[in-house]
Structure 1
Amino acid sequence: MNICEDPYVILGVHRNASLDEVKRAYRRLVMQWHPDRNHSSAAGKEFLRIQAAYEL
């Protein structure tokens, strides 16, 4: 994840989102972009980007 990128934007939630909303968004995106489920060439990179945003 680039330092300029906003983790809320990556996860698709508002800044005032609750922890549950953030977790739901993270799980939804991880299921969509996990390299075992999504065989596109960008899946691995996007998956790591989502994980980095969630860790922040």
Structure 2
Amino acid sequence: MASRLGHLLYWVASWIAVIMIAGGMVVWLYFSRPNYDPLGLLIVGFGIIVWLAGRAIRHRLAGR
């Protein structure tokens, strides 16, 4: 049961990370043209952290 929960949480975290990374790239490339505000890069960084947290949860619960 814990293995299935680990996989589910990993996929949820992966989708959240994809949305955050894509959204962060859009914010960085299109909405911060004059001075290249680092907000988009910050969002991308948090997306990577969410993805890594999902992998850690899967590793812990699923034993991979």
TM range (shorter): 0.3 to 0.5
Task: Please report the TM-score for the alignment, with normalisation by the length of structure 2.
Answer: 0.42
Which structure has greater helix proportion? Answer: 2
With a CA cutoff of 8 Å and minimum separation of 6, indicate the structure with the bigger relative contact order. Answer: 2
Is the radius of gyration larger for structure 1 or structure 2?
Answer: 2
Task: Please report the TM-score for the alignment, with normalisation by the length of structure 1.
Answer: 0.46
